[in-house]
Amino acid sequence: MKNRAKKPILKKRKYLKYGFVIMEHEDCVCPRCGDILNAGPDYQPRYCSRCGQRITFTGVQWTEDKQTGFAEGRDFYEPVKN
Ligand SMILES: [Zn+2]
């Protein structure tokens, strides 16, 4: 089997910042085992640390974390005032 480098799969994921800001982050995922590669504009691993798949980041466009909104409404309750 040839050890050919494969491009990572980009997966969008949402997370909460400061407890109320909804942020969107793009993860690079190993195309073979699905493990999240800890990759970014400053660091691109050449191999998946889990399965050893060779990874190429050529052509990958890095996107910065993006603010998509605020968590509010049904998820949060106003403090009870006496
Ligand atoms: Zn892998």
In angstroms, the CA 57 to CA 59 distance is: 6
Say which residues have a Cβ less than 8 Å from residue 66's Cβ, sequence separation at least 6. 23, 24
Segment 31-48 shows an average pLDDT of 95
| Ligand 1 midpoint to CA 45 (Å) | 11
In angstroms, the CA 9 to CA 34 distance is: 8
Indicate the SS3 state at residue 75: helix
Segment 39-46 shows an average pLDDT of 93
| Ligand 1 midpoint to CA 4 (Å) | 13
Under a CB-based contact definition with an 8 Å cutoff, are residues 8 and 39 in contact? yes
Strands (E), 1-82: 9-17, 21-29, 36-37, 66-70
Mean pLDDT rounded to a whole number for the chain: 89
| Ligand 1 midpoint to CA 62 (Å) | 20
Residue ranges of domains in the chain: 9-70
| Confidence check: pLDDT of 36 > 80 | yes
Per-residue confidence (pLDDT) for residue 18, from 0 to 100? 93
